[in-house]
Amino acid sequence: MQLLLALLSLTALITSSYCVRIPLFATLRHLQHEIDNLKAEVVVLRQTQDQCHPTEAPPTDVGKNKDAAVTVNFASCRLTKSENGEVVGRVDLREQSDTNVLQLRLQVDGAKLTLAANSKHGFHVHTYGNISGSCSTTGGHYNPDGVDHASPTSAQRHVGDLGNVQADASGNIDVSFNDTYASLTGTKAIMGRAFVLHGGEDDIGLGGNAGSLASGNAGPRLACCVIGWATGTDWVY
Please name the helix (run of DSSP H) or strand (run of DSSP E) that holds residue 31, with its range, or none: helix 21-52
The 113-132 site mask, x for binding Cu ion (CB under 5 A), equals -----------x--------
Residue 7 and residue 15: Cα distance in Å, rounded?
12
Residue span binding Cu ion (CB under 5 A) among the ranges 21-29, 168-176, 192-200, 205-213: 192-200
> What is the radius of gyration, based on Cα positions, of the chain?
41
Residue 196's binding partner out of Zn ion, Cu ion, none, with CB under 5 to 8 Å set by partner kind: Cu ion
Residue 81's binding partner out of Zn ion, Cu ion, none, with CB under 5 to 8 Å set by partner kind: none
Tell me 186's DSSP state: G
Catalytic residue among 94, 121, 126, 157: 126
Residue 79: strand pairing partners: 89
Instruction: Indicate if 141 belongs to the active site.
Output: yes
The count of residues interacting with Zn ion (CB under 5 A) is 4
Residue 108 and residue 103: Cα distance in Å, rounded?
17
Under the binding rule (CB under 5 A), the answer on residue 149 touching Zn ion is yes
CB of 10 or CB of 214, closer to Cu ion = 214
Q: Shortest CA distance to 75 belongs to which of 188, 236, 228?
A: 228
Indicate the SS3 state at residue 101.
coil
- Least distance to Zn ion from the beta carbon of 159, Å? 9
Instruction: Indicate if 149 belongs to the active site.
Output: yes
Provide CB contacts within 8 A for 136, sequence distance 6+. Answer: 82, 221
Under the binding rule (CB under 5 A), the answer on residue 196 touching Cu ion is yes
Catalytic residue among 94, 121, 141, 157: 141
Which 29-88 positions form the footprint of Zn ion (CB under 5 A)? Answer: none
Residue 228 and residue 155: Cα distance in Å, rounded?
27
Q: How many residues does the chain have?
A: 237
Closest residue to Cu ion using C-beta atoms: 124
Q: Which residues are known to be catalytic? A: 124, 126, 141, 149, 158, 161, 198, 221
The binding site for Cu ion (CB under 5 A) comprises: 124, 196
| Chain positions contacting Zn ion, by CB under 5 A | 141, 149, 158, 161
